[in-house]
Amino acid sequence: MYIGIGIWNFLFMPYKIAIASGKGGTGKTTVSVNLYKYLSEKLSNNIYLTDCDVEEPNSLLFLNNAVKVSESTATQLIPEIDPEKCTYCGKCADWCEFNALSIIKKAKFAEVNATLCHSCGACSAACNFDAITEHPEPIGKIAEYETGFGGGLTVGRLNIGSPMQTMMIEKTKESIPGNHKVLLFDSPPGTSCPVVETVSDVNYVVLVTEPTPFGFHDLKLMIGLVTEMKLPFGIVINKAGLGNNEVYDYISANNFELLGEIPFSKEYASRYSTGNLLEDIPLVVDTVFRGISERLMQKMEHDERNHHTER
Ligand code: SF4
Ligand code: SF4
């Protein structure tokens, strides 16, 4: 069934979907890029993909016709202490929740540890002597691509060794251009702050797992996280046919929504390894992605209808 995009004509905020998985290697990016492709068949350039896996963004590897159209540097503000004005009172260090400041009054020593600083600005606000100024320091690059279909792709890439993963994701999301009606976020793996930042404002989460003991363990952690955040979610099982039935039993015992199963296919896996993810897709995989896309379209239409009813 085809659902038009007219339903979103009066929607002020984009509908946001995160694709997440507790562990790496489950095929989260495969699902993200394919959903971007299949949903673009229905939504044209009203769908936009953002790679929030800023430590290891690789969605670009599967979009062979992508062309970079812009790049900018993401920065964080790092405080600098003026020794001429500093009285070494230590108030800034007391206010810093991240132990990023070392002040030793006797030695007249004041130092900022930039790798611990979260640019919260508390130290500047605390200082009564106007001794702190803030300077931008690069943390990574944000690039925008045209992809040959859909609305495009934004990729955040954190500088190697930088601990500012969460801030980089925030800045990457802030830099999404245009006014697209549906945004897809390819989330980093894990269940910590970077994932929370990625899913924090989404309408729906697609959880990707595999039917193995590791996949099952991490799926439960992810479900715990999105449940606590009160986010609706559905599950995609990748590499179906491998492993055991634990994941299936868990999903059915808890009445969770199974969006689709992508069967394990050696042919598809070898295509993945060469980056030809979107070409000559096996029929069985094509059918699964069409089904998942259709369900997501129905969900968006349903949510939008409720949104209008509630107003
Ligand atoms: S609060 Fe200001 S004056 Fe006090 S130690 Fe920090 S920078 Fe120096
Ligand atoms: S900006 Fe925030 S995190 Fe950074 S040194 Fe100041 S108080 Fe600490």
Q: Express each pLDDT in 21-55 by its tens digit.
A: 977 778 899 899 999 999 999 999 999 999 999 99
pTM passes above 0.85: yes
| 3-state SS, one letter per residue, for 189-202 | CCCCHHHHHHHCCC
Distance from the alpha carbon of residue 119 to the mean position of ligand 1, in angstroms:
16
> Do strands 47-51 and 132-146 pair parallel, antiparallel, or not at all (unpaired)?
unpaired
Ligand 2 pocket check for 176: Cβ under 6 Å = no
Q: Which of 170, 146, 141, 140 is nearest to 49 (CA)?
A: 146
* Residue 53 to residue 165: CA distance in whole angstroms: 9
Distance 100 CA to ligand 2 centre (A): 6
Cα separation, 203 vs 185, in Å, equals 11
* Number of Cα atoms under 13 Å in the Cβ half of residue 81: 25
Q: Is the pLDDT of residue 308 over 90?
A: no
Q: Tell me the residue ranges of DSSP E strands in 169-298.
A: 182-186, 204-209, 233-240, 258-263
The superfamily CATH assigns to domain 6-63+147-310 is: P-loop containing nucleotide triphosphate hydrolases (3.40.50.300)
At 91 the pLDDT is 97
What whole-number distance in Å separates Cα of residue 81 and Cα of residue 134? 9
Ligand 2 pocket check for 81: Cβ under 6 Å:
no
As a CATH number, domain 76-137 is 3.30.70.20
How far apart CA 184 and CA 52 sit, in angstroms, is 10
pLDDT, one tens digit per residue, over 235-269 is: 999 988 777 888 999 999 999 999 999 888 777 66
Domain ranges within the chain, ordered by starting residue: 6-63+147-310, 76-137
* Residue 159 CB coordination number (10 Å): 15
pLDDT in tens, 73-123: 999 999 999 999 999 999 999 999 999 999 999 999 999 999 899 999 999
Residue 123: CB within 6 Å of ligand 2? yes
Residue 91 Cβ inside 6 Å of ligand 1? The answer reads: yes
- In CATH terms, are 6-63+147-310 and 76-137 the same topology? no
Asked if residue 198 lies in contact with residue 188, where contact means CB atoms within 8 angstroms, the answer is yes
